[in-house]
Structure 1
Amino acid sequence: MKKFNWLTALLLISAAPAALAAPDSCERVKSDIQQKIINNGVPESGFTLNIVPNDQADRPDAQVVGHCANDTFKILYTRTGGGNETAGGAGTQENAPAEPQ
């Protein structure tokens, strides 16, 4: 029985550094996603990205745009009032010429 407890403790200790490294890896993934969204024409004030545990990723106002830390966290995209374009960059143009009929 003591050998089992020792092995369990060893496994938990060896897993701890991975859990501590999760925020750093998630921040890098979040930063990469943020830059891609901005490069697609969405202003930085037009969205937020949040890192949440998988069990908190089900939000009606947010879209999952990435995952990190061995898929234990999700990165959520939420539009804010600061941007005029969608994440796909598909905005509308006023005074655009009508299509020929």
Structure 2
Amino acid sequence: MNKTLLVGLAVLTLSPLAAIASCDSVKADITKKIVANGVPESGFKLDIVANDQADKAGGQVVGHCDNDTQKIVYSKLADGSDETSASPKTGSSQDATAQ
């Protein structure tokens, strides 16, 4: 009986450390998935923020951790190869010369 009580107490004492590690492990898993999709690690960042700060982080929420009290926010970094920027050849069909 005493061993069970001691093990339970140890688990409760160490649970905050496990919660911190779980956010880091979730962040690492998300990083692996993003890199596997062809995005270089230097092209993005992931931030762990509190739930109430997620909308102020300036990115897209891609995960959660710590019993859903923290959010993981993805932000694309400007490295000159931003695919969302328009190229000089971008235009409408009205811009094309009539044949």
TM class by smaller structure: 0.5 to 0.7
C-alpha deviation, 1:18, in angstroms: 3.3
Partner residue, 2:52? 55
Give the CA RMSD over aligned residues.
2.8
Question: Does structure 2 conserve the Cα–Cα contact (< 8 Å) formed by 1:64 and 1:75?
Answer: yes
Alignment of structure 1 residues 4-83 onto 2, 5 Å: 14=12, 17-59=14-56, 61-82=58-79
Normalised by the size of structure 1, how large is the TM-score?
0.63
Count of residue pairs the alignment pairs up: 79
Q: Among all aligned residue pairs of Structure 1 and Structure 2, give the percentage whose two residues are the same amino acid.
A: 54
Contact 1:53 1:73 in 2 (8 A): yes
Measure how far apart 1:59 and its partner are.
Answer: 2.5
* Unaligned 5+ runs, structure 1: 1-13, 93-101
Where do 5+ consecutive residues of structure 2 fail to align? 1-11, 87-99
**1 or 2 for the larger relative contact order (CA 8 Å, sep ≥6)?**
1
- The separation in 1 between residues aligned to 2:67 and 2:57, in whole angstroms, is 24
Cα shift at 1:22: 1.9
Over 6 Å off, 4+ runs: none
Q: Which has the larger radius of gyration?
A: 2
Question: How far is 1:83 from its partner?
Answer: 6.8
2:9 maps to none
